[in-house]
């Protein structure tokens, strides 16, 4: 009887909520663009960051399929959105003149890529699992640009990375858990890991 009363009470409360409100998605938390957005974009700017046109071989690191969809708050896919990512290479180096780290840059890693979403709002990149560098947990910078909207700039982080606990930017996000992504092993001819990161814009 108690379970029946609880069910009836839940249904009564649900009936009071405006239609569609329960399905509303929280916008993806914003994060700093950081100091290392490329100040010289590579000639190769496609969505495959592990192979650079004109160079042999692949980038160092754990090759990853990074996928997801760009959605509005109602869950509707947003087509025509430009998704950009940028990150350091396996040596912790960005393609930026201000990054003067000690390790040499991996010239086989593109470091930046872009992809436009289709009708299903989907995007796809081939990149590497991000690595830590002094003061930061492993992360990938992400920006979404949609005509008529303020760009969303954020970062995604690796689930289970020990550096997450001490990363100031991550832990001061509005909802850190929304930015933490599992990187799972897969069997594929061109990657060893897969990660999914859906992006919700504050529209709809």
Q: Is 10 part of a structural domain of the chain?
A: no
Name the pLDDT band for 7 (thresholds 50, 70, 90): very low
Q: Is 14 part of a structural domain of the chain?
A: no
Q: Is 107 part of a structural domain of the chain?
A: yes
Q: What range does the domain containing 124 cover?
A: 23-200
Q: Is 34 part of a structural domain of the chain?
A: yes
Q: Is the dihedral of CA 166, 171, 176, 177 positive or negative?
A: positive
Q: Is 7 part of a structural domain of the chain?
A: no
The mean per-residue pLDDT over the stretch 181-201 comes to 97
Q: Considering the chain, what is the average pLDDT of its residues?
A: 89
Please report, rounded to a whole number, the percentage of residues in the chain having pLDDT higher than 70.
Answer: 87
Q: Is 163 part of a structural domain of the chain?
A: yes
| pLDDT score of 30 | 98
User: Who has greater pLDDT, 125 or 41?
Assistant: 125
pLDDT in tens, 142-178: 999 999 999 999 999 999 999 999 999 999 999 999 9
Burial of 45 (0-12, 13-18, 19+ CB in 10 A): middle
Q: Is the dihedral of CA 30, 120, 113, 109 positive or negative?
A: positive
CATH number of the domain that residue 179 is part of: 2.60.130.10
Considering its fold, how many domains does the chain have in total?
1
Name the pLDDT band for 3 (thresholds 50, 70, 90): very low
Q: Is 106 part of a structural domain of the chain?
A: yes
Q: Is 15 part of a structural domain of the chain?
A: no
């Amino acid at each position: 009887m108690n379970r029946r009363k609880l069910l009836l009470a839940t249904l009564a409360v649900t009936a009071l909520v405006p239609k569609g409100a329960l399905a509303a998605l929280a916008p993806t938390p914003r994060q700093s663009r950081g100091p290392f957005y490329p100040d010289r974009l590579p000639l190769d700017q496609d969505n495959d960051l592990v192979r650079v046109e004109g160079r042999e071989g692949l980038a160092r690191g754990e090759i990853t399929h990074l996928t997801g969809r760009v959605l509005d708050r109602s869950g509707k896919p947003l087509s025509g959105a430009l998704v950009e990512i940028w990150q350091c290479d396996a040596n912790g180096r960005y393609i930026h003149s201000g990054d003067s780290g000690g390790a040499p840059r991996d010239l086989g890693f593109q470091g930046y890529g872009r992809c436009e979403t289709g009708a299903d709002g989907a995007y796809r990149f081939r990149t590497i699992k991000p690595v830590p560098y002094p003061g930061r947990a492993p992360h990938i910078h992400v920006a979404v640009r949609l005509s008529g909207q303020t760009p969303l700039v954020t970062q995604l982080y690796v689930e289970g990375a020990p550096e997450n606990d001490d990363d100031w930017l991550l832990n001061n996000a509005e909802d850190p858990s929304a930015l933490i992504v599992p990187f799972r092993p897969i069997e594929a001819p061109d990657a060893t890991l897969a990660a999914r990161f859906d992006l919700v814009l504050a529209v709809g």
